[in-house]
Amino acid sequence: MTISKYISFIAQTVVIGLAAAFLYILLVQPELLKQSGNIVEVTETPLHPEPTARPGAALGGVAIGPVSYADAVQRAAPAVVNVHTAKVITRRVHPLLDDPIFQRFFGDRFSQTRREIQTSLGSGVLISKQGYVLTNNHVIDGADEIKVLLADGRSAQAAVVGTDPDTDVAVLHIHVDNLPAIIIGNSQRLRVGDVALAIGNPFGVGQTVTFGIISATGRDHLGITAFEEFIQTDAAINPGNSGGALINASGELIGINSAIYSRSGGSQGIGFAIPINLAKDVMTQIIEQGLVVRGWLGIEAQDLTPALADSFGLPGTEGVLISGVLRNGPADNAGILPGDVVNSVNGTPVTDANQAMKLISKQKPDTLIELGGIRKGEPFSLKARVIQRPMQSEVNS
């Protein structure tokens, strides 16, 4: 072997040996690579690193929600108030005195009454810094005195600006300086699954926040109010929450808590709130006009069931059955008869009674509207002049 080949062989052997030693240290004893004054660290990089959740982050194109909604609550809570009401009621000293037999023999000679003050508690929302408060009509209905308690401890006597029993909305006004006001959202943009937080004063324990999601929108046929378009949520709503705020994850007002579905009187995960777009429209009309203006025809309508449609010889259940017509009312004067099936209002197809009433109510009084339908198997079309809808106490249609 020549000297050059010998040197080349030794060099190759040394290089291979150094490479083998480096690999051994790298894989088996990496801590030997740490040397004083010149530390080299080798860290393992996982193939699928765990994501770091943070507010507003996105993972795989899906937004990750915040770990806390404290900021949203902090923005909205100062504008949510407690509404205390009191009314004077008269009671007889003993219920036996109200007995018809007792009354027949003795009349009112032994009648004794006493006056009591009945109190109740609800919630409300400060809509503007001018002191307007949105709440439910049933919270203040019949009250002789209304007091509003703010979240910062201040209180004030409230005056009723106006009410709308048909949507269960009431507007109050207080005179207090430096009032907070809630940020109003858009209930038309709500989607099932959106986060919802209910703020109110359940059972009088103090301001409370509950958490849930939007379970459904546009709920009707509940028998709660005449015009129903409720937001359904599983955020816990209990007695005392009525009139309080339903807010989104940004702290914007999206609804006014109104009712619960419960067999026990407590929350069972089915609560209803008036959409803020509807409540805001009602509030604006009350403040500007003193009342809510709605069109009215004086009819009673019911949904068409398959059995009814078959009895009238109709191909489907589209339209509504006119089950009653108020004598000398707008519909009566226009020639609408009980038993007519109305399937369009101003050219808009009608699917159920609730939709028909909404379409009519949106018309301004003294407006002519065209009704299309079927009478005794024949199509008909006529025009009726709507009038201002009477108060709920005056009409049930």
Q: Per residue in 249-284, pLDDT tens? A: 999 999 999 987 766 666 667 889 999 999 999 999
Predicted pLDDT of residue 111: 57
Residues in the chain: 397
Q: Kindly tell me if the per-residue pLDDT of 33 is higher than 70.
A: no
CATH code of the domain covering residue 300:
2.30.42.10
**φ and ψ at 179, to 5 degrees?**
-85, 145
Residue 278 structure tokens: 């509807």
**220 residue type, one letter:** D
Let me know if residue 135 belongs to a domain. no
E strand or H helix that includes residue 13: helix 3-27
How many whole angstroms from its chain centre is CA 208?
Answer: 17
Domain annotation covers residue 117? no
Q: Both 190 and 282 in a single domain?
A: yes
The stretch 204-233 carries a mean pLDDT of 85
What is the C-alpha to C-alpha distance for residues 19 and 22, in angstroms, rounded to an integer? 5
Quote the pLDDT of residue 210. Answer: 92
Share of the chain above pLDDT 70, in %: 73
Would you state the pLDDT for residue 49? 37
345, 314: one domain: yes
Q: pLDDT tens for residues 161-184?
A: 999 998 999 999 999 999 999 999
The span from the CA of 124 to the CA of 133, in Å, is: 6
Instruction: Answer yes or no: do 227 and 273 share one domain.
Output: yes
Phi, psi of 68 (to 5 degrees): -145, 145
Cβ atoms 270, 161 nearer than 8 A: no
| Residue type (1 letter), 101 | I
Do 237 and 283 have their domain in common? yes
Range scoring the smallest mean pLDDT among 259-268, 307-316, 352-361, 383-392: 259-268
Question: What Å distances lie between residue 277 and 11, 181, 185, 290, CA to CA?
Answer: 85, 17, 8, 19
Cite the beta strand spans of 318-367 per DSSP E. Answer: 320-325, 341-345, 348-349
Structure tokens at 183: 């940020």
Angle formed at CA 222 by CA 216 and CA 223, multiple of 5 degrees: 155
**pLDDT higher than 70, residue 224:** yes
Is residue 34's pLDDT more than 70? Answer: no
d(CA 258, CA 339): 35
Q: How confident is the model at residue 148 (pLDDT cuts 50, 70, 90)?
A: very high
Closest CA to 255 of 228, 223, 279, 286: 279
Instruction: Mark whether 235 and 314 lie in a shared domain.
Output: no
Residue 53 has pLDDT above 50, yes or no: no
Q: Quick one: average pLDDT of 26-44? A: 47
Residue 395 lies in a domain: no
We report the CATH number of the domain holding residue 191 as 2.40.10.10
358 three-class SS: helix
Q: What range does the domain containing 13 cover?
A: 3-30
Q: What is the average per-residue pLDDT within 26-48?
A: 45
Report DSSP letters for 112-160, one per residue: -EEEEEEEEEEEEEE-STT-EEEEEHHHHTT-SEEEEE-TTS-EEE-EE
State which of 259, 289, 319 marks the end of a domain.
Answer: 289
Do 211 and 277 fall into the same domain?
yes
Question: Regarding beta strands 348-349 and 341-345, do their DSSP bridges make them parallel or antiparallel, or are they unpaired?
Answer: antiparallel
Q: What radius of gyration, in Å, describes the C-alpha atoms of the chain?
A: 35
Q: Looking at the domain assignment, is residue 356 inside a domain?
A: yes
**Nearest of 282, 296, 309 to residue 386 by alpha carbon:** 296
The confidence score (pLDDT) of residue 83 equals: 94
**Residue ending a domain, choose from 289, 317, 351:** 289
Q: 143 φ, ψ to 5°? A: -75, 140
pLDDT of residue 54: 42
Residues 193 and 272 in one domain: yes
Do 276 and 219 lie in a common domain?
yes
Q: Is residue 338 part of a domain?
A: yes
> pLDDT tens across 83-135, in order?
999 887 776 655 566 666 656 655 665 556 667 777 788 999 999 999 999 99
Mark which of 289, 314, 336 sits at the end of a domain: 289
Distance of CA 236 to the CA centre of its chain: 12
Which residues have a catalytic role annotated? Answer: 138, 168, 242
- pLDDT of the residue at 44: 38
Q: Has residue 387 got a pLDDT over 50?
A: yes
Q: Do 255 and 322 belong to one domain? A: no
3-state helix, strand, coil in the chain (%, to 5): 25, 35, 40
pLDDT at 243: 92
Q: Is residue 254 within 8 Å of 309, Cβ to Cβ?
A: no
Domain count, the chain: 3
Are 264 and 309 in the same domain?
no
Same domain (yes/no): 193, 274: yes
At 272 the pLDDT is 92
Q: What is the pLDDT of residue 163?
A: 93
Residue 144 forms part of a structural domain: no
**Domain-embedded: residue 251:** yes
Segment (H or E) for 58 = strand 58-59
CA distance 170 to 141: 9
Are 281 and 301 in the same domain? no
Task: Say if 321 falls within a structural domain.
Answer: yes
